[in-house]
Amino acid sequence: MLLPEEVNVIDVVCRDGFQMEKEFIPTEEKINIVNQLSQLGFKRLQVTAFVSPKAVPQMKDAAEVVRNIERKPGIEYSALTPNMKGASAAIEAGVDALDVFMSVSESHNKANIRMSVADSVNAIGEVISLAEKHDKPVVINLATCFGCPFEGDVPKDNVIKLAEDFLKMGVEGIVFADTTGMANPRQVYELTSEFLARNPKANTILHFHNTRNVALANILAGLQGGVINYEGALGGLGGCPFAPGASGNVPTEDVVGMLEETGISTGINLEGLIGLAQYLEKVIGRTLPGQVMKAGRVCDLHPMPGA
Ligand code: COA
Ligand code: ZN
């Protein structure tokens, strides 16, 4: 198999994971989880979202979280910012990078950020200019790249065109997100291989939800397509509150487990990640979807019965 030697795994549990939780997670607990994640070898963590507290009450403590986490050198701490208001607040609180977002499909973009696709591109253009002034890199998260829960098929050419528009606007990276787990491996391979053939230097990141249990297969397809950056959420928590039927991200520890077993280095401490996922399960108070957090690492052998 043609596989990379190293892959960069990014955790987004403190945003994509927490945003769906009805019960407010105490700010100190959020800070604690970011601090624990910081010890495990990640190079980038998405730690919160500067969004309307009416739309997503769980994220109302964004500034407090950013201000109080322990910054580990070498980690880029980013936050999701939907508009100028969010971007200014995030910069003021001291994030390292801004994650802006919009959907490729009109109807999901309306449901999520109440704007047309064209208006979103313009609005994000303003955020990019603001970020440039403050020397903050911007990563664009494109939602519904592999299908829209309202419209169905999202044409690959639309996704590539939008991503290329953002490259011209100076973004540091592009996340192709499968917001509601509609992607299949062939589609992932075709999008990523074509996009990277056209833009070989583009910092390309994939973000899968495991809604239909196809996320790890899609990651394998992304690896074949040449992508070396993947997002996950600890324990598989999460989903988009503005997409019907959305469920958790691919569990970060399952991604790390698969990659490491395949001989692809992630630099992440899997044992520590499993322990933290088990801890998160206690914080959230229900069983999380992650599999490796229950089964353990492949090398964790059991005593033979009767031995
Ligand atoms: N941070 C804090 N408050 C914000 C904000 C931000 N980034 N953006 C808007 N608001 C507040 C406004 O101040 C206003 O408050 P008010 O009613 O007290 O005056 C209220 O939200 C409405 O603002 P408005 O300008 O009318 O924008 P909107 O309602 O169209 O907001 C969004 C659009 C997208 C910013 C908002 O709906 C939002 O944050 N949604 C959450 C999106 C999200 O997190 N999705 C999940 C990620 S996939
Ligand atoms: Zn997501």
What pLDDT digit, counting tens, does each position of 295-305 carry?
999 999 999 99
Pocket probe for ligand 1: among 50, 52, 113, 139, the residue whose CB has the most ligand atoms within 8 Å is 52
Torsion angle, alpha carbons of 28, 29, 34, 40, to 10: 130
Distance CA(164)–CA(201), nearest Å, equals: 12
Torsion angle, alpha carbons of 171, 247, 241, 147, to 10: 60
Q: Ligand 1: which residue has its CA nearest to atom 5?
A: 52
- Residue 35 confidence (pLDDT) above 90: yes
pLDDT at 244: 72
- Percent of the chain residues past pLDDT 70, beyond the cut: 98
Ligand 1 is surrounded, with C-beta below 6 A, by 19, 49-52, 54-56, 82-83, 85-86, 112-114, 240-242
Mean of the pLDDT values across residues 118-134? 97
What ligand is nearest to the CA atom of residue 208?
A: 2
Does CATH number 3.40.630.30 belong to domain 8-295? no
Q: Which atom of ligand 1 is nearest to the CA of 49?
A: 44
Ligand 2 centre from 304 Cα, in Å?
41
- Residue 242 confidence (pLDDT) above 90: no
Mean of the pLDDT values across residues 87-107? 98
pLDDT at 28: 98
What the block records as the tokens of 31 is: 């800070």
pLDDT at 11: 98
pLDDT at 183: 97
Distance CA(137)–CA(10), nearest Å, equals: 16
- Residue 243 confidence (pLDDT) above 90: no
pLDDT in tens, 157-174: 999 999 999 999 999 999
Ligand 2 centre from 238 Cα, in Å?
7
Distance CA(269)–CA(35), nearest Å, equals: 14
pLDDT at 241: 67
What the block records as the tokens of 174 is: 């592009």
Q: Which pLDDT band, with edges at 50, 70 and 90, does 145 fall under?
A: very high
Q: Which pLDDT band, with edges at 50, 70 and 90, does 42 fall under?
A: very high
Residues in the chain: 307
**Lowest-confidence segment of 27-41, 104-118, 233-247, 279-293 by average pLDDT:** 233-247
- Residue 133 confidence (pLDDT) above 90: yes
Ligand 2 ion: residues within 5 Å (CB): 16
pLDDT at 154: 97
**Lowest-confidence segment of 114-118, 222-226, 237-241 by average pLDDT:** 237-241
- 9 vs 238, higher pLDDT: 9
Taking CA 135 as the corner, what is the angle to CA 84 and CA 208, rounded to the nearest 5 degrees?
A: 65
Mean pLDDT of the chain: 96
- Residue 155 confidence (pLDDT) above 70: yes
Pick from 4, 47, 75, 39: which is nearest to 233 by CA? 47
State residue 302 phi and psi, 5-degree precision.
-110, 155
pLDDT in tens, 199-228: 999 999 999 999 999 999 999 999 999 999
Q: Ligand 1: which residue has its CA nearest to atom 14?
A: 52
56 contacts 241 by C-beta, under 8 angstroms: yes
Beta partners for residue 119, in sequence order: none
Residues with a catalytic annotation lie at 240
